[in-house]
């Protein structure tokens, strides 16, 4: 046995290795010696066997009932964990239900707010329409019954000889209306359209679908030296009048 191995065996590194108290560096050294040198490996095996015998001789007998106590403790812990998991799951479900209910209430509240806005907008729109209709009725009454109102008889030209209309102009209130009482028949692909030229601007007043009775008036934009036109256009109307298809002029 060489001196190097002898010195190693005389140290307590093998014993410390068996007890698990060596450092990382010492552990690597012991394992290297066990693998390289038979003398060290034999000594290691012998020490290991002696340690097992010593452990058996000095083993403490397990107290009576310890096994049952341990099993009962394990069962108790399992039961506690099961209860905990049940409570945790129940709490999770409760949290999910609360979150779901909160979202539903929030969503319903958002929907109600949106519906409330729509309803308010509709009410405002209806109120505005009613206000405009009442104002129009009031203006028509003024035009028809005010002594300052001028009545202009409107007749169609050679393209619409049967056309008859009356324009009502009130320069004091600055209101203008027209009542088209008779319109000649047109092919299905044509229509009558009303226009007004006020202060150099041509205004489209829409399609005249049918003649009206004497109590139904169509508003005309008021202006000094304004001119109204009735034209024949293609079905659906157009954005600018067709000059060659003018069938009536109203100067007011």
In the chain, domain spans? 3-57, 65-145, 150-251
Q: DSSP strand E in the chain: where?
A: 150-155, 164-170, 175-182, 190-198, 201-208, 218-220, 227-234, 246-251
For residue 36, name the pLDDT band (cuts at 50, 70, 90). confident
CA dihedral of 72, 75, 77, 80, whole degrees rounded to 10: -120
Whether the pLDDT of residue 95 is over 70: the answer is no
Whether the pLDDT of residue 67 is over 70: the answer is no
Q: Which residues of 127-157 are buried (b: 16+ CB within 10 A; e: fewer)?
A: eeeeeeeeeeeebbebbbeeeebeeeebebe
The fold of the 150-251 domain, in CATH, is Immunoglobulin-like (2.60.40)
Cα separation, 67 vs 56, in Å, equals: 20
Identify the weakest region by mean pLDDT among 81-95, 120-134, 237-251: 81-95
Length of the chain: 252
Q: pTM above the 0.85 mark?
A: no
What is the structure's pLDDT at 122?
A: 76
């Amino acid at each position: 046995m060489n001196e190097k191995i002898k010195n190693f065996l005389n140290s307590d590194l093998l014993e410390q290795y068996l007890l698990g108290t060596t450092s990382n560096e010492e552990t690597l050294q012991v394992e290297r010696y066990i693998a390289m040198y038979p003398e060290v490996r034999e000594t290691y095996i012998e020490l290991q066997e002696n340690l097992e015998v010593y452990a058996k001789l000095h083993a403490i007998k397990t107290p009576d009932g310890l096994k049952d106590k341990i099993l009962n403790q394990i069962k108790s812990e399992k039961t506690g964990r099961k209860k905990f998991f049940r409570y945790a799951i129940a709490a999770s479900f409760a949290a999910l239900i609360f979150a779901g209910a909160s979202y539903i209430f929030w969503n319903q509240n958002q929907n109600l707010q949106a519906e409330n806005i729509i309803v308010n907008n509709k009410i405002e729109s209806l109120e505005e329409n009613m206000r405009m209709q009442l104002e129009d009725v009031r203006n028509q009454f003024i035009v028809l019954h005010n002594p300052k109102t001028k009545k202009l008889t409107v007749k169609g030209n050679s393209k619409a000889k049967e056309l008859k209309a009356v324009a009502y102009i009130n320069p004091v209130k600055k209101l203008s209306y027209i009542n088209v009482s008779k319109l000649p028949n047109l092919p299905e692909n044509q229509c009558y359209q009303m226009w007004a030229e006020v202060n150099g601007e041509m205004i489209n007043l829409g399609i005249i679908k049918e003649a009206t009775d004497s109590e139904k008036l169509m508003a005309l934009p008021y202006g000094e030296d304004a001119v109204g036109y009735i034209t024949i256009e293609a079905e659906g109307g157009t954005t600018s009048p067709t000059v060659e298809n003018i069938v009536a002029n109203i100067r007011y």
